[in-house]
Structure 1
Amino acid sequence: MAERTGLATLTALRSDGRRLAATAPNGDLKVWDTTEPTKPHLLIRLTRRHRVIAATWNPTAADLLATLATDGSISVWRMVDDRPPQEMMRLLMPYGRSGKLAWFPDGRHIACATPDGVISAWDLVSGARQTQVLGDRADCLTLFPGPDGLRAAYRDGSIRQPGTRTRHIQPITAASWSTTGALLAVAREDGSVEIRDESLRTRWTRAVSGGSPLLLAWYDDTAMVAADRGGRTLTAYDIAGRARWQTRLPGVPTGLSVAGDILAVGGCGFAPWIVELGTGTPLSGLPS
């Protein structure tokens, strides 16, 4: 079971790896300067009435961070160094109070998937909701807006991809699209991980844990990391299913985020655990 005190419930690295947003169960969000991954330091603390449950950095404007709160509001914040956060825009989700949040590559549109199966997308210049794509009524585990459209994977095994009808695999507990959307990693209740191609054919399957919950994250299209929450380990696999490295964690992992050559892991407290992706070498917050 995950520890209940001081858990960071999400981590979100900026694409350049120089900023990290992390939250805890009280809903506060902290932004860390990770320019030097071995010495992250706190820049900003954001306290809201409603707790933050999702956060994502804009891919084209480095100082913009979008957050989703439990009241269904999506806020876009300007986060500049250690200055007070400036709320630039607020949107209200029409359905649901939790979900996944992701920017489109153009940095102008943002999408949110909620548990009722609805995916909404907004044009942030006009503030208008542009599309509403009906999915299945299940939790969305990962949302990937690519240049060709939206991809989404749901807990019941429903998979949405551009240009195709919703397809179905067996139920899953975690999912992550590769950086181009060409590959999908999924975890199952038995603790195994599968890699599937664009046609959802299985490339390989590996037993990672004895059934404890897993977290998944890709770097490039060449490798992915699985975090075993029960075993408190990180294991990197290449696309052939070969293990590259394994690193032990001092606590239960609660979130993964990748940028450049570093991996940020959410865990106890706000302070991030940071790992070098190529070798699994601990850089900050972990025993070396």
Structure 2
Amino acid sequence: MRTSPYRAMTFRRDARRLTVSAPNGELTVWDTADPARPRRAGRLRLGRGIVAAAWNPAVADLLATASVDGTGAVWRLRDDRPPEGFASWAALPDRPQHVGWVAGGAWIYVMTGDGRTSVWDVGSGACVGLADLSGGRPVLAAHYRGDEVVVVTDSGWARAWHPKRRPGEWVRLTGKPVSACTWSSTLLVVAGVDGQATCFDAEFRSVQALRVARERPRALACAEDGRLVASCGDTWAVAVDRGGTVRWETTLHSMSARSIAVAGDLIAVCGPRPRPVLLALTTGVALTA
């Protein structure tokens, strides 16, 4: 699966800040309050370069990052002040690929591309748990489910783990290779290389099938309420509703899109250049000048 060199793209919940990582390890914070003119609001760098980032689900100005050398960190990003390092620790001995929050934003997980995972308590600085979640299977995506970390492999398997217990049983989501997946507050959406996708509930039960793209999607993003699923490919972005109806399709001129994110009424797409393009969630109209 090809990914964007600007891989760690994530919106703050209010859609007023967006972080995008660059190949040189720098993470740029974009002010997206005016979607027509996103502007740089700060730059972060730590531990040989940042490769993953995630906003805290409960405290809007806290951002977790993971760096090439295994460093985990928390930053405080107030709108009216320069970025401030809040905490950092040696999370893993190997290069991470995923980072996120668990337990309502009290814990942070850092994970390698083959599933080695550590979870840390932000308040105490203590390690809550360590596990090998995928048994060497390549991890396509990681997320949280309450107090659990959830992994999805590129071969279509999923597994949940509470950091204070043993990892759960493997669940077979699909028998086909997975091209991309995303989460809303209630759904996991898994798409294959043919653009066909399946929606799963919190217990990994299949609840709906739909086509999210006519060809292989490079990335997926879902509105928080699950009403729209957006995907992108080389020169296109498309959004479908839960019924599978295409709501809009947009051509991305001179852009090889590889990353997509959704928050509020905005969609961000990014390709080989660091500056994101912002689209209206409901229409797909490009808002960025």
TM-score, length-normalised on structure 2? 0.86
CA shift for structure 1 position 62: 2.2
When residues 109 and 48 of structure 1 are mapped into structure 2, their CA distance, relative to the original with a 3 A threshold, is closer
CA shift for structure 1 position 46: 2.4
- Matched to 1:52, the amino acid is I
Q: Which moved more, 1:201-210 or 1:107-116?
A: 201-210
Which structure 2 segments of 5+ residues have no match? 163-167
Structure 1 residues 188-226: Cα deviation after superposition (integer angstroms, max 9, x where no partner)? 233433333444436224272444x52111102222111
When residues 236 and 75 of structure 1 are mapped into structure 2, their CA distance, relative to the original with a 3 A threshold, is same
Structure 1 residues 149-189: Cα deviation after superposition (integer angstroms, max 9, x where no partner)? 33221112211247952112323121112222xx2211223
Contact 2:9 2:259 in 1 (8 A): yes
When residues 221 and 133 of structure 1 are mapped into structure 2, their CA distance, relative to the original with a 3 A threshold, is farther
- Matched to 2:138, the amino acid is D
Corresponding residue to 2:179 among 168, 173, 180 = 173
CA shift for structure 1 position 111: 1.4
What is the distance in 1 between the residues matched to 2:207 and 2:274?
A: 37
2:278 is equivalent to residue 274 of structure 1 = yes
Q: Which moved more, 1:266-275 or 1:198-207?
A: 198-207
Aligned to 2:206: 201
Aligned to 1:244: 247
Structure 1 residues 45-93: Cα deviation after superposition (integer angstroms, max 9, x where no partner)? 2244612111111222222211111111111112233644322211223
Q: Which secondary structure state, in structure 2, belongs to the residue aligned with residue 80 of structure 1? A: coil
CA shift for structure 1 position 31: 0.8
When residues 199 and 11 of structure 1 are mapped into structure 2, their CA distance, relative to the original with a 3 A threshold, is closer
Corresponding residue to 1:117 among 115, 119, 125 = 115
What is the distance in 2 between the residues matched to 1:255 and 1:209?
A: 18
Q: Which secondary structure state, in structure 2, belongs to the residue aligned with residue 99 of structure 1? A: strand
CA shift for structure 1 position 3: 10
Instruction: Give the length in aligned residue pairs.
Output: 278
Which structure 1 segments of 5+ residues have no match? none
Q: Which residues of 2 match residues 84-103 of structure 1 at below 5 A?
A: 84-103=82-101
- Matched to 1:172, the amino acid is V
2:222 is equivalent to residue 224 of structure 1 = no
CA shift for structure 1 position 254: 2.2
Contact 1:100 1:141 in 2 (8 A): no
CA shift for structure 1 position 107: 2.1
Aligned to 1:8: 6
- Matched to 2:78, the amino acid is V
Aligned to 2:22: 24
What is the distance in 2 between the residues matched to 1:118 and 1:162?
A: 12
What is the distance in 2 between the residues matched to 1:44 and 1:107?
A: 23
What is the distance in 2 between the residues matched to 1:208 and 1:162?
A: 31
Contact 1:76 1:90 in 2 (8 A): yes
2:145 is equivalent to residue 142 of structure 1 = no
Q: CA RMSD in A?
A: 2.5
What is the distance in 2 between the residues matched to 1:255 and 1:157?
A: 20
What is the distance in 1 between the residues matched to 2:41 and 2:3?
A: 26
- Matched to 1:45, the amino acid is R
- Matched to 2:231, the amino acid is A
What is the distance in 2 between the residues matched to 1:201 and 1:23?
A: 33
Contact 1:99 1:139 in 2 (8 A): no
Contact 1:10 1:256 in 2 (8 A): no
CA shift for structure 1 position 20: 0.9
What is the distance in 2 between the residues matched to 1:151 and 1:74?
A: 19
When residues 12 and 128 of structure 1 are mapped into structure 2, their CA distance, relative to the original with a 3 A threshold, is same
Q: Which secondary structure state, in structure 1, belongs to the residue aligned with residue 105 of structure 2? A: coil
Q: Which moved more, 1:213-222 or 1:102-111?
A: 102-111
What is the distance in 1 between the residues matched to 2:121 and 2:60?
A: 18
